């Protein structure tokens, strides 16, 4: 099996367990375990199967077992953990993935040196404090090692050890407690260890990893707790379906939920995750799914007449202009501290684009370096400073303090210095330092340098580090990209536990709305209805979100609820009309457009869509009057000429139709215009001119007769109505085919 097949089978078995199909899950797990060729896996499955057989046996013999449900939950938990173990065994032994080759090597080494991690951790401190702590925790210290390694190498090895360890037993847990509470181990080492735990948790579920991250979070050490909380939230999200099987983890959540500012911290992390995801915003859902479906709902004639583009964009009403900027007072959205890197964070990601080409240095071959905080004492930085003539120390110190570039990019920047001539380097340093001073002054003026603002900048930098790792690391395909996750946090257990402040929920909903994550926004707004049921904006915004996802029935439902609060509000009236149009109910749509017209009689949007709706109802005389009114109010809008020309033809006003078609062809013609002009000229008894128009349309279509005659045939009934003989029509079609 390759790694994709292993992961697919693993997901399938887990889903059976989650849905309670345990017989099927056990059968599939046996097949899965056969691939490992390890008898002890089969033995464990047999034990679990026996437990389940007993549950089934007792459940239908009128035996009241008060412990049955808890035993059943524990069985599901055991099956999940065994499935985890088998998956990891297969990935390590048969997948061929690079990281699992590393894991295999580490496992072999661990078998030979059981206290390798303790040996490594001694290199992280320079006094006897760690030895004393380890002794107090009954961890036996190894004998003196013959191999001398640098402190940085020890840290990298410990990172790999923690990352590639499946389950943290007592030894690992005590080591992590030692690191967490040691005052001699600096913040940057602890930060890196937290990243190792996070990466390990995302790879393999283990409740002890949650405990370790919780300890680092409660440590409340700047730079460390932010990373730990991000690790916890990512773990809670990934294993959302599992949490109910672990009451001890529910208690972890409940305890965290009581910490000060946890809701604001969670909000900041969620927002930044979505800002990072939006670096590569995917608009395919609209362009490839929703828009084509909308077009299917429209009669072909609307496409031919290009009705949707008649009204200039400036007249198109999208969001309600009366909506307040509710998210404006939320921390982060308009924070000047993030304005400097706004393009990077939202969409364009200028730094991502610039620095993605600077991740080829050997430094980034080491996985731990992708998560390494930037600090001036780093061995790599020291070597850069000492080798150069230019005094880089002030610049490095300034770079460390900067909140506007993630750690990974800071290292890329420094590594690239070796290729910059000394003369250019001095000028660049001066420019950079001056820019940083200006930004700091702005921050001081706006009173932005406060504890929470700094924490948000750390969260931003760390998530950008994660983003670069999952997008740029040479073996990125071997990891589950967290930024490709849907991250529907509104449906998760942890969100309901951690977020109780409705203002935070509202802020997140507004953020999702502003950034076009309409599904999440609709669900979050919906949770607020019972709390803020008199808020008309909630119903408007929920309706708008459903409209944007193409769910016009749900959108109509909420717009109608908003209408109950204010039946005269024009924006709501227009939205209801729009929904009726897309639900193919033009009669109701027209009713609402007429109501809107009473309030805004010269609104081009309303007038144009009254015309469109009347076209659907084949009320051509009335539609023409409205299109003429649009033309009168907006004489520069030449797009209105197309429906005027076509409807004039439908009504037998051939001179008017020809006049407008000639105007259209003069500035922008298409095959439909030329075919319609041909029809008009034929009805005017100008047969030769009609043929010329048809032939020009064919040339535009590269002589695609199928497309041509599909369009031609749509108006045959009108040609017959206006006196064109059926035989003449057949002859004309054959003539056009043979005459080219």
Nearest to 212, CA basis, from 171, 266, 247, 245: 171
Q: Looking at 120-134, 457-471, 499-513, which range is the least confident one?
A: 120-134
Q: How far apart are CA 511 and CA 266, in angstroms?
A: 14
Residue 573 has pLDDT above 50, yes or no: yes
- Residues 340 and 460 both lie in one domain: yes
In a domain, 352, yes or no: yes
Domain termination site, one of 240, 259, 278: 259
Which residue is listed with tokens 């071997």?
478
How large is the average pLDDT for residues 118-146?
Answer: 48
Q: How far apart are CA 272 and CA 266, in angstroms?
A: 10
Q: How far apart are CA 674 and CA 563, in angstroms?
A: 44
pLDDT of residue 140: 42
Q: Which two tokens stand for residue 740?
A: 């080219």
Q: How far apart are CA 631 and CA 647, in angstroms?
A: 14
- Residues 105 and 40 both lie in one domain: no
Domain termination site, one of 445, 476, 507: 476
pLDDT confidence bin for 739, thresholds 50/70/90: low
CA R_g for the chain: 34
How large is the average pLDDT for residues 488-499?
Answer: 90
In a domain, 583, yes or no: no
Which residue is listed with tokens 């590594």?
415
In a domain, 582, yes or no: no
Q: How far apart are CA 485 and CA 477, in angstroms?
A: 14
pLDDT of residue 114: 54
Q: For residue range 287-341, what is the model confidence (pLDDT) as tens digits?
A: 455 445 545 555 666 666 666 666 665 445 567 766 655 444 444 433 433 443 4
Q: How far apart are CA 64 and CA 58, in angstroms?
A: 8
- Residues 175 and 219 both lie in one domain: yes
pLDDT confidence bin for 348, thresholds 50/70/90: very low
Nearest to 537, CA basis, from 559, 505, 508: 559
Q: Count the neighbouring beta carbons within 10 Å of the beta carbon of residue 630.
A: 25
Share of the chain above pLDDT 70, in %: 79
Domain with 684, as residue range(s), is 666-740
Please state the three-class secondary structure of 706-728 as a single string. Answer: HHHHHHHHCCHHHHHHCCCCHHH
Q: Which two tokens stand for residue 29?
A: 């797990």
Three-state secondary structure call for residue 167: coil
701 Cβ neighbours under 8 A, 6+ residues apart: 671, 707, 708
pLDDT of residue 194: 98
In a domain, 659, yes or no: no
- Residues 381 and 466 both lie in one domain: yes
Nearest to 316, CA basis, from 308, 324, 305: 308
**What does the mean pLDDT of the chain come to?**
84
Which residue is listed with tokens 């953990």?
81
- Residues 346 and 360 both lie in one domain: yes
Which residue is listed with tokens 């190792």?
196
- Residues 231 and 340 both lie in one domain: no
- Residues 104 and 186 both lie in one domain: yes
Residue 110 has pLDDT above 80, yes or no: no
Domain termination site, one of 476, 505, 533: 476
Q: Looking at 209-223, 257-271, 525-539, 708-722, which range is the least confident one?
A: 525-539
Nearest to 644, CA basis, from 591, 671, 687, 607: 607
- Residues 41 and 161 both lie in one domain: no
In a domain, 327, yes or no: no
Question: Distance between terminal CA atoms of the chain?
Answer: 60
- Residues 83 and 232 both lie in one domain: no
pLDDT of residue 58: 85
pLDDT of residue 82: 97
Which residue is listed with tokens 């209408």?
563
- Residues 49 and 190 both lie in one domain: no
pLDDT confidence bin for 179, thresholds 50/70/90: very high
How large is the average pLDDT for residues 201-213?
Answer: 97
Q: Which two tokens stand for residue 181?
A: 């509470």
How large is the average pLDDT for residues 712-721?
Answer: 92
Task: Output the furthest CA–CA distance in the chain (Å, rounded).
Answer: 108
E strand or H helix at 462, and its extent?
Answer: helix 451-472
Three-state secondary structure call for residue 245: helix
Q: For residue range 8-25, what is the model confidence (pLDDT) as tens digits?
A: 999 999 999 999 999 999
Q: For residue range 503-522, what is the model confidence (pLDDT) as tens digits?
A: 999 999 999 999 899 999 99
pLDDT of residue 120: 57
Q: Count the neighbouring beta carbons within 10 Å of the beta carbon of residue 430.
A: 11
- Residues 254 and 369 both lie in one domain: no
Give the highest mean pLDDT range of 329-343, 371-385, 665-679, 722-736: 722-736
pLDDT of residue 326: 46
In a domain, 618, yes or no: no
Q: Residue 178 in contact with residue 121, Cβ under 8 Å?
A: yes
Higher pLDDT, 343 or 421: 421
Buried b / exposed e over 668-698, threshold 16 CB at 10 Å, is ebbbbbbbbbbbbbbbeebeebbbebbebbb
- Residues 688 and 673 both lie in one domain: yes
Higher pLDDT, 526 or 310: 526
pLDDT of residue 134: 45
pLDDT of residue 332: 42
Higher pLDDT, 533 or 646: 646
Q: For residue range 40-76, what is the model confidence (pLDDT) as tens digits?
A: 999 999 999 999 999 998 888 777 778 889 999 999 9
In a domain, 542, yes or no: no
Q: pTM of the entire structure?
A: 0.79
Please tell me the total count of domains within the chain: 4
In a domain, 629, yes or no: no
Q: For residue range 673-698, what is the model confidence (pLDDT) as tens digits?
A: 999 999 999 999 999 999 999 999 99
Please state, in angstroms and as integers, the Cα–Cα distance from residue 56 to each residue in 8, 69, 71, 244, following that order.
29, 12, 12, 22
E strand or H helix at 441, and its extent?
Answer: helix 422-445
Q: Which two tokens stand for residue 689?
A: 């001119």
> Cα 30 to chain center, whole Å?
36
Q: Which two tokens stand for residue 341?
A: 């890197």
């Amino acid at each position: 099996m390759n790694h994709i097949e292993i992961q697919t089978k693993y997901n399938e078995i887990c889903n059976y367990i989650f849905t309670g199909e345990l017989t099927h899950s056990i059968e599939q797990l046996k097949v899965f375990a056969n691939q490992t060729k390890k008898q002890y896996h089969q033995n464990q499955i047999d034990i679990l199967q026996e437990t389940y057989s007993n549950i089934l046996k007792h459940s239908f013999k009128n035996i009241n077992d008060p412990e049955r449900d808890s035993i059943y939950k524990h069985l599901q938990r055991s099956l999940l953990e065994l499935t985890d173990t088998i998956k990891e065994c297969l990935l390590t032994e048969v997948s061929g993935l690079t990281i699992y080759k590393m894991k295999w090597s580490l496992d072999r080494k661990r078998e030979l040196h059981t206290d390798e991690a303790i040996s490594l951790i001694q290199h992280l401190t320079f006094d006897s404090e760690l030895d004393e702590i380890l002794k107090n925790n009954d961890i036996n210290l190894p004998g003196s090692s013959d191999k001398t390694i640098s402190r940085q190498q020890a840290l990298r090895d410990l990172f790999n050890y923690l990352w590639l360890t499946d389950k943290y037993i007592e030894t690992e847990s005590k080591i992590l407690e030692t690191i967490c509470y040691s005052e001699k181990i600096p913040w940057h080492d602890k930060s890196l260890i937290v990243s190792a735990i996070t990466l390990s948790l995302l790879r393999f579920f283990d409740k002890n990893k949650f405990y370790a991250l919780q300890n680092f979070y409660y440590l409340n050490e700047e730079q460390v707790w932010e990373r730990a909380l991000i690790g916890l939230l990512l773990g809670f999200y990934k294993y959302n379906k599992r949490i109910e099987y672990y009451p001890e983890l529910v208690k972890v959540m409940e305890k965290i939920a009581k910490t000060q500012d946890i809701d604001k911290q969670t909000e900041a992390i969620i927002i930044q995750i979505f800002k990072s995801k939006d670096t590569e915003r995917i608009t395919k859902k609209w362009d490839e799914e929703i828009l084509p479906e909308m077009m299917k709902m429209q009669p072909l004639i609307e496409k031919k007449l290009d009705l949707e583009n008649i009204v200039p964009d400036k007249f198109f009403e999208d969001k309600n202009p009366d909506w307040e900027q509710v998210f404006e007072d939320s921390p982060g959205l308009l924070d000047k501290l993030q304005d400097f890197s706004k393009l990077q964070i939202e969409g364009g990601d200028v730094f991502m684009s610039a620095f993605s080409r600077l991740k080829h240095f050997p430094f980034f071959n080491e996985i731990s370096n992708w998560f390494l905080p930037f600090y001036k004492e780093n061995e790599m930085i020291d070597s850069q400073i000492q080798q150069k003539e230019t005094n880089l120390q002030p610049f490095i110190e300034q770079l460390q303090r900067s909140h506007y570039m993630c750690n990974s990019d800071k290292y890329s920047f420094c590594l690239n210095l070796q290729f910059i001539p000394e003369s250019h380097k001095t000028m660049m340093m001066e420019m950079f330092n001056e820019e940083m001073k200006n930004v700091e002054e702005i921050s001081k003026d706006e009173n932005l340098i406060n504890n929470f603002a700094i924490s948000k900048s750390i969260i931003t930098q760390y998530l950008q580090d994660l983003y670069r790792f999952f997008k740029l690391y040479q073996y990125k395909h071997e990891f589950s990209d967290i930024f490709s996750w849907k991250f529907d946090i509104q449906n998760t257990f942890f969100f309901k536990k951690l977020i109780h402040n409705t203002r935070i929920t509202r802020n997140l909903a507004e953020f999702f709305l502003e950034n076009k994550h309409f599904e999440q926004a609709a669900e979050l707004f919906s949770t607020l209805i019972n709390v803020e049921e008199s808020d008309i904006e909630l119903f408007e915004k929920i309706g708008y979100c459903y409209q944007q996802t193409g769910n016009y029935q749900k959108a109509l439902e909420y717009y109608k609820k908003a209408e109950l609060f204010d039946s005269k509000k024009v924006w709501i009236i227009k939205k209801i009309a729009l929904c009726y149009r897309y639900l193919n109910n033009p009669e109701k749509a027209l009713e609402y457009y007429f109501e809107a017209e009473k309030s805004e009689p010269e609104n081009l949007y309303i007038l144009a869509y009254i015309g469109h709706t009347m076209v659907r109802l084949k009320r051509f005389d009335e539609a023409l009057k409205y299109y003429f009114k649009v033309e009168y109010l907006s004489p520069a809008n030449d797009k209105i000429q197309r429906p005027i020309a076509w409807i004039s033809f439908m009504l037998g006003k051939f001179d008017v139709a020809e006049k407008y078609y000639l105007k259209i062809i003069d500035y922008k013609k298409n095959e439909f215009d030329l075919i319609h002009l041909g029809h008009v000229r034929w009805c005017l008894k100008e047969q030769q001119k009609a043929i010329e128009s048809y032939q020009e349309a064919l040339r535009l279509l590269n002589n695609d007769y199928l497309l041509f005659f599909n369009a031609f045939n749509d108006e045959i009934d009108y040609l017959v109505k206006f006196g064109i003989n059926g035989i003449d029509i057949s002859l004309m079609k054959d003539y056009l085919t043979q005459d080219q």
